[in-house]
Structure 1
Amino acid sequence: MKKLLLIFLLSQTFLNADYNTTLSNEDIQLIDDYVENVSIEDSIGQLFMVGINDDYVNYQNSKKIDKLIKEIGVGFVIVNQANYPKTIKKHPTFVSKEDFLDKAIDFHNYLQHKTIESKLGLPLLIAADFESSRFTSITHGLYLPPSALSLSATHNSELIENIAILSALQLKNLGIDILLGPVLDRYDIHIGKKEKTLLNRSFSSNENNLIKVSSHFIKGLNKSGIITFIKHFPSHGKVDKNPHDEILPIYSGSKEEFKTDLKAFKFFKKTVNGVMLSHLSIPSLDITEPASISSKFISNHVLKQSDLSLNFNKKIIITDDLSGMGAVQYFSKKNNISYPKIALKAFSAGNDILMFSHMYDSYFSIKKLIASKKLILKYITSSDTNKQRFKKSLKKIILLKSKIAKQKGINIENFLKNKQHIFKNINKGYEILTKSENFIKDGNYTYKNAKELIKKTIANATIEINKKVDYRISELTDNKHILFMANDIQIEKFRDAFSDINADFNTTNYRKYGKKQDSVSKKYTQYKNYLRKKIDLYDYLIYILHDMDDVNAIDAIRLKKKNLLQKIIIFVHDNPSILTMDILQGTTVISSFTQHELSYDNDISVLKGVVKPKDIKYLPIELGTFFKVKSSELTTAESSNFDYSLISTPLSKKFKTSQQKTKSLEKGLNICYTKKTSMSQELTEANSKIEKLKKRLENYDFFSKNHQINRE
């Protein structure tokens, strides 16, 4: 019967899960005892979050997986795109959506099952990126969310929250417990510059708007019960270089700008589970090494209680990837410091989880992970202070896992002591999407399923940034000749939609013509020349733009003759800040800020007049002198767990009253708890006195009986 109940609990969606799952005093005591008594050597692996090299075909009986999970005893796994098959029909590893989800569940269950053979037997927590169709660990099978910038452009709290719920429920129903996100970096926009880190991943360039939008997104995540590690503190918005490149990026902001960037992270202190730290140097704070492994940075600006710190002392602190990122490689080479020593430095600085997402690089390997474990063990056992430091991190991790266990209806004592496959996912592939979108079907929404939710979100995000011509096809086609340019996947959609007009359809896939860089460059030059010549043959060019290479191709037209720009209608599927000022001012520009597969259908709807783009005043980012971002009409989500003291935002009277009542209740509860504790102590003392009196009475009876016997 108990087994049937557990299966029932695990098969449910998680929308009604208590994301702030409360562990009882007895649970906490069990965890404290466990942390105090567990072998340090056996439990060091719990600090590690690792990537898995093997894909969905080769993982079974993998010696590498055995090493990582059974021998090293890692506590976390981060999944990546290479672990899964593809659902693109032309791809050699093509599988259907349902088969994809079945294979993903089998893969996750295999990893969890392997933990039974580890020394501790604790389940893994599996983590994933799931930001958009472009930045995600899982590119197929699920309903991918539009980008953060796209969500921000909607100015619609319901859509933002429901996209977050949908995203998180899909991950949880698939067996993934941790979302590495959302991104709370604040944009610092440079017009016409190739920015490779944030792109469309952040919500806004305005700190208050960033908090407003992310408050609704995080509120949605919390409703699902998923673990959230916000990133990338302090922010890549003030950084010119990408930390994936072999250079240590520099945060160029002042101390005051750092304080501004800190707000969004600190605002959610009570409601997120942890924070991911960036590989950045910060001259304004005198941080010359990567902040992610700097004890000075973590002590003063992550753990400490001050205006210039997060005060995340009780939250999980996790590094960005320590294995494959160029910034770490650069630091290693420049300072002649090995990867195991970098791992030790990261732990001793104050991180609770060390991420190694690339285990196949020439830079990092399982062998180096084992060396890292040995080095950290030596450090921990060298002093009582270091042991306590380790136990503090271990307790945070066990608390996190225990909350997930309890959320799933698992007894904490069983979770800690019994080696069972307790995190087994019994969902079937075909159930994942249905279970994850049930909350939409059960709600009073104008959209009835996940696909309709995403389509409405993208339509609401669409903004007319500049208008030189009426871009509706009905207004363009009067004896006019139109050229459509899109990549080879999307161009067919436009061909099908507009086959009845006087138009030609060509692809922008110049990069596919050669693998070697010189070959690509040659083809790219040919492509730009082709475009310059072709533009004269058409009345209008409708260009589906994805990146800086497309921008440069359009700029080649400007260099030929600037007034030709007026012919061009651009649909931007990225951050529009990549456009030059000439292109912004000279062409018609519309953006939905996302490369989601449904965003191209949205372009077609705009051209047909079905979707009407919003005014530029709703743009969530600055575009130099062309546009200054306005304060969003969106109100901040209301939650007793958000720190409103950090922002100036109007709150409803109802919520203020609710907050006051909550504080009053909390005060009352604290008084009751204090009285209960006091009464418990008094009761303990009273029971002790009673026991003493009982013993005295027993002694009295004994002597009384003996006295009676002697008299007789």
Structure 2
Amino acid sequence: MRRFASLLLTYVMVAEAFCSSVVSIKAKEPVESIISGMTTEQKIAQMIIPSLRTWNNKDTTVLNSEQAAALKKYDFAGVILFSQNTKNVTKTTELINSIQDAHSNGGFKDSMFVAVDQEGGRVTRLQTGTHMPGNMAVAATGDVTNAYKAATVIGKELAVQGFNLDFAPVVDVNSNPANPVIGVRSFSDKPEIVTQYGLNYVNGLHDQKVMTCLKHFPGHGDTDVDSHTGLPKIDKTYDELLKSELIPFSSLAAATDFIMTAHIQFPQIEKETCISKASGQKIYLPATLSKMFLTDILRKKLGYQGLIITDSMEMDAISTNFDKLDASARAINAGADILLMPVRLTSTKDIADLDAYIKGLGDMVRSGAISENRINESVTRILRTKEKYGLLDKVQKASPKNAASIVGSKELKAVEWEIAQKAATATKNDGVFPIGKDKKVVIFYPKKEELNSIKAGVKKAGINKVDYIFDGEGVSSSADSSIQNADVVICISSCATGGELKNTATVDTLIEKAKNNGKKTLVLSTNLPYDLQKFNNADALVACYGPGVNITAAIYKIFLG
């Protein structure tokens, strides 16, 4: 259905080409010497990336003394920032500088990974700058160089603010249309296409000296449960995974710096079970906690040599079913190098809990419950990666002034707009568009947060004869008169989950009313494109694969072509 879905691409990878743009700087002190001087607790901290979204429920845009003290006390691998931390370019840059300063004040030999989930599209954490169209939109252009262009813009905006790690790209194969968490975050439902676009994305970030992270191993694309809120299960064999989900991970293993795990059960592969602390029922070990997946498959069979990081340990798939220390120990023993967000720096209580948590893991190392060899392996791998990117030398502070001049610049916005326009694709057009400037149009929209993007497209196209009708609570009483007075009826369909794909009654009703009044109808899908299959009775069908600039570009294209 999508234009790119029919592409048949090969994926011959050359490892040298993957890593050609990676910075390599010799450390002032050998990694082995650094490790020999670390305590057990310092090694454990080096395997943790905490979050600091808020402090006492207020967004953290400035590091406070308690958070700074924690960063000074513990030699964390890094931190992860979210939208609560990134509201302003200058303040974000200053925040990152203060994070590195606090850590440096602890006397540690390394600098920190400063990470963010800046995928583009639905998952865009930075509140300012460009909001690139997202993976499925990029692949809809049919041009793999657009993945490189999008990642280059993202990487440029991250690096200039002091970020050095992007938890991207998503290389899940979205084979399940009902998937509630991946969807348009995936490049495609075909592994070859995911691999091609994923490679270009990785190279784009690397050329801006930003580390990459493939996610979510071994594949989150065929789930019907969101691991943020539940524990998914995929009933596939290893051979079945090899034919789809594992293709991008195996093909890109030499290209990436990190691979992120998925909190998913695979009962035909990992047969070990445990008892859920929430339900008391037997569950299978999810991939994040599975030595079978992280060591036997990812390390040994796929030959991956980079860093393995868990998905957030706060997610319900883990935190609801496992004790925190038990889950952490299982993940480390399974082969994880870094635990993502097992702890927060968001209150005085959190920091007290942090002390107890690290002591608890230290005690587990000393008792043999956690392998000391595993700890040393991971810390060595972490510091080697930091050495490669110059993070064992003094990190140069980012310039807030320089960041403000680059982030969201006219040049970068032009790339964003170019890709968004190319991404908007029609699967049907019976003489409806380009509509032009003379016809009277009514646009029915189901989500109020999309209205500004719709209006921006209309304004950019220079159109005046447009009515906007909110239909988020069903077809309104004004629908009939609005349709009668229009030449063209545009219905926005915005389905983000499989459940929403089942509920298209409002758009169906609007199409029927328009048909009964002899009006041309166009359905614009602003999220998962699978909904368009339900609207073949409309005169035109267009997909744009995501919010924001995607919608604006699609509306502009619908009017002016």
Counterpart of 2:210? 226
Counterpart of 2:432? 470
Structure 1 or 2: larger helix share?
1
Out of 389, 403, 427, the position equivalent to 2:399 is: 427
Shift in alpha-carbon separation, 1:431–1:572, aligned structure 2, 3 A: same
Structure 1 or 2: larger strand share?
2
- In the TM superposition, what whole-angstrom CA distance separates every residue of 1:446-495 from its partner, at most 9, and x where no partner exists? xx922222222122222111224422223982xxx531234332353356
- In the TM superposition, what whole-angstrom CA distance separates every residue of 1:347-367 from its partner, at most 9, and x where no partner exists? 1221100011773799x9444
2:416 paired with 1:454? yes
Counterpart amino acid of residue 395 in structure 1: T
Task: Give the TM-score normalised by structure 1.
Answer: 0.66
2:78 paired with 1:76? yes
2:15 paired with 1:62? no
Counterpart of 2:6? none
Shift in alpha-carbon separation, 1:118–1:43, aligned structure 2, 3 A: farther
Counterpart of 1:296? 292
2:322 paired with 1:322? no
What fraction of aligned residue pairs are identical, expressed as a percent?
Answer: 17
Q: Which runs of 5+ in 2 are unaligned?
A: 1-18, 272-283
Q: What does 1:96-111 correspond to in 2, within 5 Å?
A: 100-111=88-99
Counterpart amino acid of residue 571 in structure 1: L
Shift in Å, 1:379: 2.5
Shift in alpha-carbon separation, 1:485–1:248, aligned structure 2, 3 A: same
Counterpart of 2:340? 355
Counterpart of 2:558? 607
Counterpart amino acid of residue 207 in structure 1: P
Q: What does 1:27-426 correspond to in 2, within 5 Å?
A: 27=27, 30-52=30-52, 53-54=54-55, 59-67=62-70, 69-85=71-87, 100-118=88-106, 120=108, 122-140=110-128, 142-190=129-177, 193=178, 195-245=179-229, 247-260=230-243, 261-287=245-271, 288-304=284-300, 306=301, 310-312=302-304, 314-323=305-314, 325-332=315-322, 338-356=323-341, 359=344, 365-383=350-368, 386-405=371-390, 415=393, 422-426=394-398
Shift in alpha-carbon separation, 1:144–1:327, aligned structure 2, 3 A: same
Taking the aligned partners of 1:430 and 1:216, their CA distance within structure 2 comes to 27
> Contact (CA 8 Å) 2:161, 2:398: kept in 1 or not?
no
Shift in alpha-carbon separation, 1:216–1:580, aligned structure 2, 3 A: closer
> Contact (CA 8 Å) 1:344, 1:375: kept in 2 or not?
no
Taking the aligned partners of 2:25 and 2:38, their CA distance within structure 1 comes to 20
- In the TM superposition, what whole-angstrom CA distance separates every residue of 1:217-239 from its partner, at most 9, and x where no partner exists? 22222222211111001111111
Out of 568, 571, 580, the position equivalent to 2:521 is: 568
Taking the aligned partners of 1:162 and 1:177, their CA distance within structure 2 comes to 18
2:555 paired with 1:555? no
Counterpart amino acid of residue 373 in structure 2: Q
Shift in Å, 1:432: 5.1
> Contact (CA 8 Å) 1:42, 1:119: kept in 2 or not?
no
| Rg comparison, structure with higher value | 1
Counterpart of 1:591? 543
Counterpart of 1:482? 441
Taking the aligned partners of 1:397 and 1:30, their CA distance within structure 2 comes to 13
Shift in alpha-carbon separation, 1:535–1:283, aligned structure 2, 3 A: farther
> Contact (CA 8 Å) 2:461, 2:556: kept in 1 or not?
no
Task: Give the TM-score normalised by structure 2.
Answer: 0.83
- In the TM superposition, what whole-angstrom CA distance separates every residue of 1:91-110 from its partner, at most 9, and x where no partner exists? xxxxxxxxx21111111111
2:468 paired with 1:505? yes
2:533 paired with 1:581? yes
Shift in alpha-carbon separation, 1:28–1:423, aligned structure 2, 3 A: closer
Taking the aligned partners of 1:180 and 1:47, their CA distance within structure 2 comes to 16
> Contact (CA 8 Å) 1:184, 1:230: kept in 2 or not?
yes
Taking the aligned partners of 2:328 and 2:20, their CA distance within structure 1 comes to 34
- Count of equivalent residues: 516
Counterpart amino acid of residue 455 in structure 2: E
Counterpart amino acid of residue 109 in structure 1: N
Taking the aligned partners of 2:201 and 2:417, their CA distance within structure 1 comes to 18
Taking the aligned partners of 1:470 and 1:31, their CA distance within structure 2 comes to 64
> Contact (CA 8 Å) 1:128, 1:136: kept in 2 or not?
no
Shift in alpha-carbon separation, 1:554–1:536, aligned structure 2, 3 A: farther
> Contact (CA 8 Å) 1:473, 1:607: kept in 2 or not?
yes
Shift in Å, 1:605: 2.9
Shift in Å, 1:535: 6.7
> Contact (CA 8 Å) 2:176, 2:223: kept in 1 or not?
no
Taking the aligned partners of 1:431 and 1:23, their CA distance within structure 2 comes to 24
Taking the aligned partners of 2:475 and 2:175, their CA distance within structure 1 comes to 30
Counterpart of 1:661? none
Shift in alpha-carbon separation, 1:534–1:208, aligned structure 2, 3 A: farther
Taking the aligned partners of 2:510 and 2:458, their CA distance within structure 1 comes to 28
* RMSD, matched Cα: 3.2
Counterpart amino acid of residue 105 in structure 1: T
Shift in alpha-carbon separation, 1:557–1:110, aligned structure 2, 3 A: closer
> Contact (CA 8 Å) 1:570, 1:590: kept in 2 or not?
yes
Taking the aligned partners of 1:560 and 1:220, their CA distance within structure 2 comes to 43
Q: Which runs of 5+ in 1 are unaligned?
A: 1-16, 86-99, 333-337, 407-411, 416-421, 438-447, 511-523, 612-712
Shift in alpha-carbon separation, 1:252–1:468, aligned structure 2, 3 A: farther
Taking the aligned partners of 1:243 and 1:531, their CA distance within structure 2 comes to 41
Counterpart amino acid of residue 462 in structure 1: A
Taking the aligned partners of 1:234 and 1:315, their CA distance within structure 2 comes to 15
> Contact (CA 8 Å) 1:166, 1:436: kept in 2 or not?
no
Shift in Å, 1:118: 2.3
Out of 450, 453, 475, the position equivalent to 1:528 is: 475
Counterpart amino acid of residue 325 in structure 2: P
